[in-house]
Amino acid sequence: MSRVRALAAAALSLAGCGGAESVLDPAGRGAERIATLFWWMSGGAALIWLAMAALAVWAVRSGPERHGTRSAALLIVGGGVAFPTVVLAALLAWGLSSLPPLLAAPPPTSRVIRVTGEQWWWRVRYGEVELANELRLAVGEPVLVELESADVVHSLWIPALSGKVDAIPGRVTRLTLEPTRTGTFRGVCAEYCGASHALMELAVVVVPPDELERWLADQAAPARAPKGPLAERGAAQWVASGCGACHAVRGTGADGVIGPDLTHVGGRRMLAGWLENSQHEHRRWLARTSELKPGARMPSFGMLAPDELDALAAYLEGLE
Ligand code: CUA
């Protein structure tokens, strides 16, 4: 029975190794290299552990009289010095040799995406198209991510695609991403950067190349006009509340750069990096910003009347 339980526990813990943010379920070239290294190291460590356990059992079972001085010395020098030196040196050489391909720049014609870590969200730029907390990539196409920080040190980590790279104020660091299959993956900030560090998520959507081109063309278009009386009231409320001082909505004259560009905010995977992108959540976010993301620079707009919040949420959610 205990064996069944142990097997069930092992199966359950391995089930946690898959999914949208697993280094052991790679969906990109860099992550594949890292996973291969991990499996070889784990396999090697398991084999060595088994050999050591067998030796220990053998040592306990055989009497002391059977170990001659020469064979004991051979065991110590061979098994204790030569073997680990050779194995660890080989693993080190192999591990180091897999670094250059991980850090290699993509072909010069590759797309360049600029990602800026800010407290506590990711600004993502494809030329003039700007998004927040979302990265779209084409399967099989390597891209160069130029990583910057607007304030403190952040670290971009998309476990399923590649290793992590820090975003350092005043510097541009680079990361090559080459997705090998389509899907939605999760990126996080891997360097503690303040109160809402844990809410600094990034959705990474990998699609076929032609779909990415269509999506980019849609994103480059100016914002949709509000649909329906509630959204129209929301557009007026947006102006009255001065939202455009911090946010841009292309095509409306709002060109703030402090917060995320909201031109197509309603079409994004998530709101504020971790909330569902629905009218209800837009409303909750507007009214309770500092509760949902402690320390965020955006003030809460809980002082607005309920119908004003409803209208604003309807307008924003409609900006697809
Ligand atoms: Cu940004 Cu942690």
Distance 69 CA to ligand 1 centre (A): 58
pTM listed for this prediction: 0.85
pLDDT at position 201 is 93
pLDDT at position 62 is 79
**Pick from 272, 22, 30, 17: nearest CA to 175:** 30
Ligand 1 atom 1, closest CA: 154
DSSP secondary structure letter of residue 79: I
What confidence category does residue 19 fall into, taking pLDDT thresholds of 50, 70 and 90?
Answer: confident
Give the Cα-Cα-Cα angle 132, 319, 244 (nearest 5 degrees). Answer: 70
Atom of ligand 1 minimally distant from the CA of 194: 2
Token pair 């993301």 is found at 293
Kindly state if the Cβ of 94 falls inside 6 Å of ligand 1. no
Dihedrals phi, psi of 185, to nearest 5 degrees: -120, 165
pLDDT at position 115 is 97
Q: Which helix (H) or strand (E) holds 119?
A: none
pLDDT digits (tens, 9 = 90+) for 104-152: 888 888 999 999 999 999 999 998 899 999 999 999 999 999 999 999 9
pLDDT digits (tens, 9 = 90+) for 161-198: 999 999 999 999 999 999 999 999 999 999 999 999 99
CA–CA gap between residue 292 and residue 91 (Å, rounded): 45
pLDDT digits (tens, 9 = 90+) for 253-266: 889 999 999 999 99
pLDDT digits (tens, 9 = 90+) for 188-198: 999 999 999 99
Kindly state if the Cβ of 114 falls inside 6 Å of ligand 1. no
- Over residues 14-31, the mean pLDDT reads 79
pLDDT digits (tens, 9 = 90+) for 202-250: 999 999 999 999 999 999 999 988 889 999 999 999 999 999 999 999 9
Dihedrals phi, psi of 280, to nearest 5 degrees: -60, -45
Residue 14 has pLDDT above 80, yes or no: no
What confidence category does residue 41 fall into, taking pLDDT thresholds of 50, 70 and 90?
Answer: confident
pLDDT at position 261 is 93
Atom of ligand 1 minimally distant from the CA of 198: 2
